[in-house]
Amino acid sequence: MLIDIVHVWPLRGLALVGLVLLCLMGAAAPGYSQDRPPVAVDIPAQPLGQSIADLTEQASVTIVAPDQLVADKSAPAVSGRLTPEEALRRLLAGSGLSARAGAGGAIIVTVAPSNPPDGGPIRLDPITVEAVLEGTITDSYAAPDNFASTRTDTLAIDTPQSTQAITRQALEDADATNVADAYDYLAGITRENNFGGITGDQYLARGFRTDNILINGNRSGAPTTLDTANVERVEAIRGPTATLFGRADPGGLVNVVTKQPLAEPFYEVDLQGGAGFFDEGARYRDVRATVDTGGPIDEEGRIRYRLNAAAEYERSFRKDIDDKLFFVSPVVDFEIDQKTIANVELVYQYRDFVFDRGVPFIDGEPGLPVDWYIGEEQAPSINANYVSGTFRVDRELTDALSARLGFYTSYNDVDGEGIEIRRVLTNAMATAARNDYDTSDLVITLQPELVAAFETGSFGHTALFGIDASYRRNKFRIMGSQAGAPFDLLGTEFPVDAPEIDLSQPGTFSAFNDLTAWELGIYVQDQIDLSDQWKLLAGVRWDAVWLDAKAESTFTSFFNTESEGEFRDNTFLPRIGLVYQPIREIGLYSSYSETYRPPTVVAEIDSERANLDPEEGRSLEVGIKLDAFDGRLTGTLAAFRADKENVIQADPDNPGFRINIGSVRSQGVELDLAGEVFENFDLGISYAFTDAQVDSDDNPNLPKGTRLFNVPRHAASLQAAYRFTEGMLQGLRLFGGIVYEGEKKTNTSATIRTKLPDYIRFDLGASYKLTENVQARLFIQNLTNEEYYTSANGENRVVPGQPLNATLGVRVRF
């Protein structure tokens, strides 16, 4: 267990003072000019001079490298689709050399200005236009960089924060068609109740519920379940993120990185079908088709595109639950000139699904088959439309200064009916009711940023200055019918009695919530190379929020409540971290940061109509990072303690109102390792020990030590893949996964002790290249047909996992 950590609040003042001083310092330094489009690069580890010669040939560029500079220097292996500048940067890493633009488009290798003969720090490069926008195609499990954790082009090993990414290849090997499927392989991230599908891919980060998913670093509201057709990777940014992203919880955020335009033509079509086996899984059927294409539009390659589309029909293993999906996402970038790129990305997703809150436990134990569904023979459907648009411009102002302007908006609309259990009575009897939902969520964000690389004395800096202004309008309406006649859970005769909604009848209700939220954040961050081995990150954000909320509730037509609330506040949120690299492949780090989350749930006021206090958090983390084999194997081992105060929950004495219940603490250890262990063998490992519990006695119903629900103490996963490249099995690739979750509570309650049982799930798959362009694929999920449950919202709403099933697909790529 972690040793109790002393208070570190004085670091707040230290971070603020230090940051002010850092912001007053600066001097321009030379760097790269505009990067060229990415090309296929495959260079082995060898002498640096030979590597530069190979790159010159493969990238068709002119690189001038004097023999006396590259003599007796070696270079790591570099492969993948990279810009020539990025490939050269990786070849020169740690050599004391850098590159600059020469006449006629040539690149000249020279002694790095920030690496004088007496040995100085290596200056961090500013973010380049291509660094974030370029599209790549890779089959690796490793992701050595993570843009969202710093919003600069920084390697993960140089960042004093725990991050992990499930790459595109890992997503495919897990047959992950929804973003939530990636959570099984992210340490410290667990599935949360998603309100029958209405609130989408909800998750817990280090035990704290988080109400947002980032899309390319932008807040997306709470969309319904997102498809992965256009997803390049899913990242976990663990620990507090408020300095860069505003309101947040101390556990972290999930960021979805989307596929981007390609410099060379690419076409891919996937067709797959799935079926369930044995007992409860026998009805399962799935048909899915995806298209992924991209490349240059004009002859010069200055306009590039990427288009992803998907269509799916799923007949769930849950009885009478069928889902339909249509998804399309075009992305185009425009090279306006050699220093400016504009990018436009659109997403539209339509889902027709059945509201499903799972199965009830009986006397605290699983007692019903996992395919049992309360709405069998009368399942109404819900329609969900999600649309988002992103426009951004990246401009290289000078060799050392870059700017970007981003505009992001998303709109999510959900409308339809669902049936759920109203109450579970004694003797396994229950009642059902019908609910009608109509929700919408609009998010608009404008975000200008500057990134500068400069030096002060012997220190190299990468400084970030940004502003984000956001607007959100969230509306939620629900109407519920009276409860129907009781029925026997163990011998259910379908259809159950779920009356139509008539608000004049006893036992009915209607609730409407309307939230308008404005947020303005101004943030500054500096990444400082103190020496070759020491790196410091310091940042601070001033955040201001303006909230207006209204709520109206009607119970059985004669009991009405109305409430209005407004909230105005601002705060400073510091962040500071230190990285020490005893050798290039190892980074030891520590970090401290704070979070702030205003009462954003509609009408979060107490019974006396007073505003609730905002939730405040802080986190301290130490860890060790690995970046070995030239970025092909990455990993993190982290220990953390996070505290959140003024936690907001429902008021047990005043239904319809909320209260601050005190503080919650989460502490634990996380491990992740991913990449190519040896040639053709990829491995991904994650483990998390999370001890999340109430840490105060402010609420008598939740005494200190009460564990938080849906948070297993132990969770682990393993992914592995091996590719045969010679002999009779050439073209065959074997892959599989193992997912384990320990038991977890269904309620955050001291009196209700019902737990979801622990489980272990085995998946297995294989692909085979029939021709150079055609690949067949087989994936078997839940090989042992394990009965398991992924999340709960009380013991009457438990979500079962998928039984044994198999998917067969064909991919055509050219």
C-alpha–C-alpha distance, residues 31 and 604, integer Å: 50
**Integer CA distances (angstroms), 581 to 152, 160, 237, in order:** 20, 11, 21
Quick one: 13 exposed, middle or buried, by C-beta within 10 A (0-12, 13-18, 19+)?
exposed
Diameter of the chain measured on Cα atoms: 90
CB 192 within 8 A of CB 710: yes
pLDDT value at position 655?
53
User: 382: closest CA among 325, 430, 318, 431?
Assistant: 325
Q: Reduce the DSSP state of residue 216 to 3 states and report it.
A: coil
Q: Reduce the DSSP state of residue 281 to 3 states and report it.
A: helix
Placement of tokens 């004093």 in the chain = 160
> Which tokens sit at 196?
């029958």
**Integer CA distances (angstroms), 752 to 658, 702, 703, 708, in order:** 20, 11, 13, 12
Rg for the chain, CA atoms, rounded: 27
CB 504 within 8 A of CB 556: no
pLDDT value at position 25?
32
Quick one: 154 exposed, middle or buried, by C-beta within 10 A (0-12, 13-18, 19+)?
buried
Which residue spans within 8-49 are E strands per DSSP? 39-43, 46-47
DSSP letter, residue 132: H
DSSP bridge pairs for 46: 75
Prior bond to 495 cis, omega within 30? yes
Q: What is the DSSP string of 429-481?
A: EEEEEEEEEEEEEEEEEEEEEEEEEEEETTEEEEEEEEEEEEEEEEEEEEEEP
User: 602: closest CA among 531, 673, 553, 532?
Assistant: 553
Q: What's the one-letter identity of residue 151?
A: R
C-alpha–C-alpha distance, residues 805 and 809, integer Å: 14
pLDDT value at position 135?
60
CB neighbour list of residue 511: distance below 8 Å, 6 or more residues apart: 476, 477, 478, 479, 551, 552, 553, 554
Placement of tokens 């608009």 in the chain = 444
pLDDT in tens, 218-275: 888 767 789 999 999 999 999 888 888 888 888 999 999 999 998 889 999 999 999 9
Reported as type and span, the H/E element at residue 90 is helix 84-92
C-alpha–C-alpha distance, residues 276 and 323, integer Å: 16
**Integer CA distances (angstroms), 579 to 403, 627, 783, in order:** 26, 13, 42
CB 677 within 8 A of CB 660: no
C-alpha–C-alpha distance, residues 555 and 45, integer Å: 72
pTM over 0.85: no
Q: What's the one-letter identity of residue 192?
A: E
At 20, phi and psi to the nearest 5? -60, -45
Beta strands 107-111; 63-64: pairing state:
parallel
CB 423 within 8 A of CB 377: no
User: 352: closest CA among 273, 414, 309?
Assistant: 414
- Which residues does the chain have with pLDDT short of 70? 1-37, 67-68, 100-106, 111-138, 211, 222, 278-281, 557-559, 600-611, 649-658
> Which tokens sit at 731?
């073209």
User: 413: closest CA among 374, 387, 431?
Assistant: 387
Placement of tokens 């007992």 in the chain = 279
pLDDT in tens, 335-372: 998 889 999 999 999 999 999 999 999 988 999 999 99
